[in-house]
């Protein structure tokens, strides 16, 4: 690599009120990636953090403290705040970058055009073109999106798929082509795109839900979860998402059995007290759902142990408050064939002390989540399709 390299990574971390999880797996993974790339030339690093208006939206300046902690001392790291990114001064800094020097640009979602890709008007292309020698797209967790910082790369210079992304693509390839029975454990605070889950289920994959996704699915099947929980779900999910959940709830296999499962009990918290409650009794309770219940954990574990390929995406409970049935389920299904997806899921393992346990037992941990599932469902990766398009490569010359 002769001149500076423009690298798109995904340091989007679990965060709240401007405070990021500095020791998250995703940060450590990309710090290692940046260290390796910097051995060949100067780097310009682009990433994002949250969305404007959301609690996790912040500058990438806190990420710099974490990067400096994980990178060797001989790697020089500098930071450009968002108001200075697209300036002549920054372009001059880029042109002078040498081996072992890294320039991190601020959160790309400060810029309105980030979410409105248009090759004809995107200012990123003329700003970087001519000063950047090579581009690397190593942001698989965002590949299902058409953000400008992803799509612009092949129009700037010759673009390659990054090391971490290639590694996770191989894992995805192996899962798709493995003929053995598969299962997906889906948690988290949002419902994965219904078309993706439906396509995964139609490929013979059994889906087990927890987290808010599991609650929404239970409600879509007609269960009443208590006034407080029902109200929260109505506020948290749109009418479209609720209808999507009904579609998933009605998916069945060849003999009419549902292929998407929801919890049969939950752990409630009511004024500091915790109680395990069957789903049929929730309507009469006032507590807030915090975790999957013990019966659910036991039944999920028993079924999942029979699946040679087991994929987990998203937390199953509020692990930050020490609700640990999801972690206990993890222990019971660990071993060869277990794949963990996404930043929040891996953060659950990190805080529960299971990262090393999973890897030592033969499991695999990825930094991608929704994008991985999108690929499993057969969806496209727009920015990667551009990389594979010879016409775009020609335009970058």
Are 9 and 153 part of one and the same domain? Answer: yes
Bridge partners of 209, per DSSP, are 186
Q: How many domains does the chain have?
A: 2
- Name the pLDDT band for 309 (thresholds 50, 70, 90): very high
The region of weakest confidence among 76-80, 349-353, 392-396 is 392-396
More confident: 83 or 238:
83
pLDDT value for 160: 95
Q: Residue 376 falls within a domain, yes or no?
A: no
Backbone angles phi, psi at 275, to 5 degrees: -150, 140
pLDDT of 90 > 90? The answer is: yes
Are 210 and 153 part of one and the same domain? Answer: no
Contacts of 157 (CB under 8 A, 6+ apart): 6, 128, 129, 132, 133, 134, 135, 396
pLDDT of 393 > 60? The answer is: no
Are 277 and 390 part of one and the same domain? Answer: no
Are 250 and 107 part of one and the same domain? Answer: no
Are 194 and 312 part of one and the same domain? Answer: yes
Q: Residue 374 falls within a domain, yes or no?
A: no
- CATH number reported for the structural domain that contains residue 70 in this entry: 3.40.50.1260
pLDDT of 92 > 80? The answer is: yes
Q: Residue 372 falls within a domain, yes or no?
A: no
Full strand arrangement of the beta sheet holding 206-209:
260-261, 206-209, 182-186, 309-313, 338-341, 364-365
Structural domain including 190 reads: 168-366
pLDDT value for 189: 79
pLDDT of 1 > 70? The answer is: no
pLDDT of 265 > 70? The answer is: yes
pLDDT value for 22: 67
Q: How far apart are CA 267 and CA 198, in angstroms?
A: 28
Q: Residue 263 falls within a domain, yes or no?
A: yes
Nearest Cα neighbor of 369 from 397, 393, 396, 348 is 348
Percent of the chain at pLDDT above 90?
A: 73
- Name the pLDDT band for 137 (thresholds 50, 70, 90): very high
Are 145 and 277 part of one and the same domain? Answer: no
Percent of the chain at pLDDT above 70?
A: 97
Q: Residue 175 falls within a domain, yes or no?
A: yes
Burial code of 146-160, b = ≥16 C-beta within 10 A, e = fewer? ebbbbbbbbbbbebb
Are 87 and 21 part of one and the same domain? Answer: yes
**Average pLDDT, integer, range 45-57:** 91
Are 306 and 386 part of one and the same domain? Answer: no
pLDDT of 54 > 90? The answer is: no
pLDDT of 188 > 90? The answer is: no
pLDDT of 319 > 90? The answer is: no
Q: Residue 214 falls within a domain, yes or no?
A: yes
Are 122 and 227 part of one and the same domain? Answer: no
Q: Give the strand pairing for 265-270 and 288-292.
A: antiparallel
Instruction: Answer whether 25's CB lies under 8 Å from 367's CB.
Output: yes
pLDDT of 140 > 70? The answer is: yes
pLDDT value for 230: 95
Are 189 and 210 part of one and the same domain? Answer: yes
Are 133 and 217 part of one and the same domain? Answer: no
Q: What is the pLDDT of residues 6-37, one digit of tens each?
A: 999 999 887 777 777 766 888 899 999 999 99
Are 204 and 142 part of one and the same domain? Answer: no
Q: How far apart are CA 30 and CA 47, in angstroms?
A: 11
**Average pLDDT, integer, range 373-383:** 95
Q: Between the CA of residue 382 and those of 147, 197, 371, 395, what are the distances in Å?
A: 10, 19, 11, 17
Q: Residue 102 falls within a domain, yes or no?
A: yes
pLDDT value for 348: 80
What average pLDDT does the structure give for the chain? 91
**Average pLDDT, integer, range 175-198:** 88
Q: Residue 373 falls within a domain, yes or no?
A: no
Q: How far apart are CA 363 and CA 335, in angstroms?
A: 5
Q: What is the pLDDT of residues 233-259, one digit of tens each?
A: 999 988 888 898 998 999 888 888 899
pLDDT value for 390: 64
């Amino acid at each position: 690599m002769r001149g500076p390299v423009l690298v798109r990574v995904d340091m989007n971390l679990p965060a709240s009120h401007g405070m990021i999880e500095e020791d998250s797996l995703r940060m450590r993974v990309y710090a290692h990636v940046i260290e390796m790339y910097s051995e060949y030339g100067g780097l310009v690093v682009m990433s994002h953090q949250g969305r404007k208006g959301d609690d996790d939206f912040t500058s990438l300046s806190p990420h710099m403290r974490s990067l400096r902690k994980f990178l060797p001392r001989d790697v020089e790291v500098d930071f450009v705040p968002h108001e200075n990114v697209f300036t002549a001064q920054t372009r001059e800094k880029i042109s002078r970058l040498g081996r072992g020097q890294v320039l991190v640009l601020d959160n790309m979602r400060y810029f309105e055009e980030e979410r409105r890709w248009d090759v004809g008007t995107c200012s990123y292309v003329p700003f970087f073109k001519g000063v950047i020698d090579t581009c690397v797209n190593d942001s698989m967790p965002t590949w299902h999106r058409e953000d400008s910082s992803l799509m612009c790369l092949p129009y700037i210079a010759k673009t390659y798929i990054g090391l971490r992304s290639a590694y996770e693509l191989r894992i995805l390839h192996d899962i798709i082509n493995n003929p053995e029975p598969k299962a997906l454990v889906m948690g988290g605070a949002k419902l994965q795109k219904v078309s993706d889950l439906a396509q995964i289920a139609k490929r013979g994959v059994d889906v087990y839900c927890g987290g808010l996704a599991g609650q929404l699915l239970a409600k879509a099947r007609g269960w009443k979860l208590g006034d407080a929980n029902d109200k929260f779900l109505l506020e948290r999910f749109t009418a479209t998402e609720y209808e999507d959940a009904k579609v998933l709830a009605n998916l069945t296999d060849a003999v009419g059995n549902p292929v998407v499962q929801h919890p049969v009990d939950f752990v409630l918290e009511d004024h500091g007290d915790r109680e395990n409650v069957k789903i049929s009794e929730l309507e009469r309770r006032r507590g807030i759902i915090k975790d999957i219940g013990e019966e659910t954990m036991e039944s999920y574990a028993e079924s999942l142990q029979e699946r040679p390929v087991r994929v987990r995406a998203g937390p199953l409970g509020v692990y930050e408050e020490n609700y640990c049935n999801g972690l206990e389920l993890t222990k019971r299904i660990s071993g060869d064939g277990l794949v963990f997806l996404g930043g929040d899921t891996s953060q659950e393992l990190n805080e529960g002390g299971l990262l090393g346990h999973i890897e030592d037992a033969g499991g695999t941990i990825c930094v991608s989540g929704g994008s991985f599932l999108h690929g499993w469902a057969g969806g496209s990766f727009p920015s990667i399709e551009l990389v594979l398009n010879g016409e775009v490569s020609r335009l970058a010359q």
